[in-house]
Structure 1
Amino acid sequence: MATKPRSIFEEVDDVQKPVAAPGGIDGRGRGARGAIRVWLMILFVLVVVMITVGGLTRLTDSGLSITEWAPLSGSVPPMTDDAWAAEFEAYKQIPEYTQQNAGMSLSEFKVIYWWEWGHRQLGRVIGLVWALGFAYFALRKQIPAGWTGRLLWLGALGGLQGVIGWWMVSSGLRDGMLDVASYRLATHLGLAFVILGFIAWYVFLLGRREADLMQARRSGEHKLFSMSTGLMHFAFLQILLGALVAGIDAGRAFPTWPLMGDGFFPPDPFQLEPLWRNFFEDDGLVQFIHRMSGYLLSIFTVVVWLRGRRSPHVKTRFGFNVVLALMALQMVIGIVTALYSAPAHIAILHQFTAVVLWVAILRARYLARYPLPQSIRGT
């Protein structure tokens, strides 16, 4: 299309110029960020419930009540007396029954069966919620640019968790085993926290526009972010150590504090052979390592908090205050758990507080990287 010739006397400022549309950087590939965030929040709540139910399943010794892995047919519980009898008979063949629960009645078996079935069923529900949500947003082409891989990653981790769950249970069905292998339990719980961590991080990111995140990152505190990343890894290690304690019921040994029995160090800690087994299977040594790691984690939390309280951002400082408060609370609950030999209600509170603390650390780390805007008055 030909343009109209301009007069040599025409002022340059008279020429109309295209005006940039606001939010152009963030407008392309924005997707349904708010709706996906809500979907991830639902998954987050389900995973938290899953971790809690899993802890109760372990504390009630229910994890070995179902002796086969049937991802599809296992979703239907026994419906007849014959079906219940068959399940009970299968349980009677494993060492946990013959050496620990011999003489258990069918009604008592049903209690532990329902705990394990509910745990597995909740895993199926989580998988279904993820699959339906991902399919919905993908078919409607509402997934933001760069987020398809992240959401698929969550699904892959969920599938892997199911496989590891059976890998864990199968270890307790072998001769000589009354419980699942503690290191497999730690792997299973650790992956649950990894999944929860990714979901929480994605929820944080989707709470703001990409342009806002890019702008906030310029004000990020790299040193504080690095220290909080170290705190996150240290806390994860402590969670794994806690799983090792739970896996061999080490929390019920040495109900004393600050000493372990009559001394600082547990008596006879290296009786098992080969030597490495003591670090996974000796009650006293495993609990001792968990205690010492907890002390070091608390000290490092204070160090990170001292750096965080110097942040120029009010909400960042508050985030690290929350972490310090929760760490102190978790330490107190841990001591009470040990003193009372890990009763179920206190032990599950200890695990749940670990979940809350884990998310608080992730939130503080997020704020160190992407500070929230504040008014001059709040500076």
Structure 2
Amino acid sequence: MTSVQNAALSETTIASDRLRPVRIWLYAMAGFVLLMVVVGGITRLTESGLSITSWKPISGTIPPLSDADWQAEFEAYKQIPQYEVNNSWMTVDDFKVIFFWEYLHRLLGRLLGVLFAVPFLVFLVQKRFTAQLAWPLFGLFVLGGFQGALGWWMVSSGLTELTSVSQYRLAAHLTAASLLFIALVYVPRSLEPGRITGRVASRNIWWAMVLLLLIVLQIGAGAFVAGLDAGLGYNTWPLMDGAIIPNGLGVMQPAWRNLFENALTVQFIHRCIAYVIVAYLAVMLWRQYRSEGFAGVHGWLPRLGLLVLLQVGLGVATLLHAVPISLAVGHQALAFMLAGATVAYIADMRRAGR
């Protein structure tokens, strides 16, 4: 076949691929969710999340435009415990800084809804996907809306008695975001045309799914670390409070509270899950190397190994430097990227098995 024929065949394939715009749109939505995670991390680390004390899905799109508007927002903020306990020194100008991050985070959430709904309707009218695909995509839209509601539920936990949001609700919010991101990567990846090479057994998919589950569990555990500011203490590694297994892991009663409310235990659990992920992926790499190597679809595995090593290094650096914003946000974003790469590997293996 000549180069001209190859080019013509390629153009014909692209022209007949009616799902290509849909895939690009969904990948862009996944990138947008990742952006929201980054901004949300900055919002959390700057303690900006409680600066807006009301939820106005429509009118809240418009920020304060006058001195009177700013003063009204500031007065509302003065009524919550965070201001009274931690930030009573603030002026309106100081307040504007923390307001900005929370406002930007909420604005991106609203924009995400629009950027999802409008193309969805356009593609539906263009009949670019069948009803069989339309319903799962509509489910992603509902999941995105649910994520917004979870965000307000989280914020509301810090408006009456606490000086920050509940770590339980923060974990629910971040875990839901990870599930939305994973779905936005999996769906378009599973719709990619073309043949996937490499032998895939059902056990390969199951091993990768367990890895993905561990990563999501670790994201949730990281949210508990963030919610309790547990990373601000015990800033040594590999020892923790001078020991491999520190004392004080079970001081709270009943014992289950230590898993979610004891900063020492929460950080220890986060470390241990990281060790489990490293060991588990090492076994995956060894098994695949011994059986058939990393050709074809299994080329994902070395990439996952590199991402895990980078994530561990970034996590340790974040801990040793007492959670600087840049490192902490990068650590959180890379966790999502690792989850995205893992689900892409799963999607490709499922395509190879067709």
TM-score, with structure 1 as normaliser? 0.85
- Contact 2:190 2:351 (C-alpha < 8 Å) held by counterparts: no
Match of 1:348 among 324, 329, 340: 329
Range with bigger deviation, 157-166 or 258-267: 258-267
Task: Give 5+ residue unaligned stretches, structure 1.
Answer: 1-26, 374-379
The residue identity in structure 2 corresponding to 1:61 is E
Distance in 1 between residues matched to 2:41 and 2:277, nearest whole Å:
22
Give the % identical residues: 38
4+ residue runs over 4 A deviation = 216-219
> Could you tell me which residue of structure 2 aligns to residue 277 of structure 1?
257
Report the secondary structure of 1:146's partner residue. helix
Match of 1:368 among 346, 349, 352: 349
| Superposed displacement of residue 317, structure 1 | 2.8
| Superposed displacement of residue 272, structure 1 | 3.4
Distance 1:220 1:317, change over 3 A: closer
Report the secondary structure of 1:117's partner residue. helix
Distance 1:74 1:261, change over 3 A: same
Indicate yes or no: 2:87 matched with 1:98.
no
| Superposed displacement of residue 328, structure 1 | 1.1
Kindly report the root-mean-square deviation, in angstroms, between the aligned alpha carbons of the 2 structures.
2.1
Indicate yes or no: 2:132 matched with 1:146.
yes
Distance 1:218 1:268, change over 3 A: closer
Match of 2:273 among 293, 308, 315: 293
Distance in 2 between residues matched to 1:43 and 1:261, nearest whole Å:
42
> Could you tell me which residue of structure 1 aligns to residue 171 of structure 2?
186
| Superposed displacement of residue 203, structure 1 | 1.5
> Could you tell me which residue of structure 2 aligns to residue 114 of structure 1?
100
| Superposed displacement of residue 312, structure 1 | 6.1
| Superposed displacement of residue 100, structure 1 | 0.7
Match of 2:180 among 186, 195, 207: 195
| Superposed displacement of residue 220, structure 1 | 3.2
Distance 1:146 1:219, change over 3 A: farther
Distance in 2 between residues matched to 1:361 and 1:317, nearest whole Å:
11
Range with bigger deviation, 249-258 or 30-39: 30-39
| Superposed displacement of residue 193, structure 1 | 0.8
Distance in 2 between residues matched to 1:134 and 1:127, nearest whole Å:
11
Match of 1:47 among 25, 33, 36: 33
Distance in 2 between residues matched to 1:271 and 1:65, nearest whole Å:
34
Indicate yes or no: 2:135 matched with 1:155.
no
Q: How does 1:171-182 map to 2 (within 5 A)?
A: 171-175=157-161, 177-182=162-167
- Contact 1:33 1:144 (C-alpha < 8 Å) held by counterparts: no
The residue identity in structure 1 corresponding to 2:280 is F
What whole-Å deviation, never above 9, does each CA across 1:265-294 have from its counterpart, x for those lacking one?
Answer: 333333434433222121111001111111
Match of 2:190 among 205, 211, 231: 205
Q: How does 1:1-379 map to 2 (within 5 A)?
A: 32-144=18-130, 146-175=132-161, 177-208=162-193, 220-309=200-289, 310-311=291-292, 314-371=295-352
What whole-Å deviation, never above 9, does each CA across 1:166-216 have from its counterpart, x for those lacking one?
Answer: 1100111121x111111111110111110111110112122216xx6xxx6
- Contact 2:198 2:298 (C-alpha < 8 Å) held by counterparts: no
Report the secondary structure of 1:183's partner residue. helix
Distance in 2 between residues matched to 1:344 and 1:267, nearest whole Å:
29
- Contact 2:288 2:294 (C-alpha < 8 Å) held by counterparts: no
- Contact 1:168 1:184 (C-alpha < 8 Å) held by counterparts: yes
Distance in 1 between residues matched to 2:341 and 2:218, nearest whole Å:
15
Range with bigger deviation, 356-365 or 239-248: 356-365
| Superposed displacement of residue 45, structure 1 | 1.3
Distance in 2 between residues matched to 1:282 and 1:174, nearest whole Å:
22
- Contact 1:313 1:372 (C-alpha < 8 Å) held by counterparts: no
- Contact 2:231 2:267 (C-alpha < 8 Å) held by counterparts: yes
The residue identity in structure 2 corresponding to 1:357 is L
Which structure carries more helix by proportion? 2
| Superposed displacement of residue 141, structure 1 | 2.3
The residue identity in structure 1 corresponding to 2:207 is M
| Superposed displacement of residue 31, structure 1 | 7.9
TM-score, with structure 2 as normaliser? 0.91
Range with bigger deviation, 326-335 or 304-313: 304-313
Report the secondary structure of 1:254's partner residue. coil
Task: Give 5+ residue unaligned stretches, structure 2.
Answer: 1-12
Number of residues of Structure 1 aligned to a counterpart in Structure 2 = 339
What whole-Å deviation, never above 9, does each CA across 1:247-278 have from its counterpart, x for those lacking one?
Answer: 11101110111111222233333343443322
Distance in 1 between residues matched to 2:263 and 2:36, nearest whole Å:
27
> Could you tell me which residue of structure 2 aligns to residue 13 of structure 1?
none
Report the secondary structure of 2:117's partner residue. helix
| Superposed displacement of residue 308, structure 1 | 3.2
Distance in 1 between residues matched to 2:96 and 2:303, nearest whole Å:
42
Distance in 1 between residues matched to 2:93 and 2:158, nearest whole Å:
22
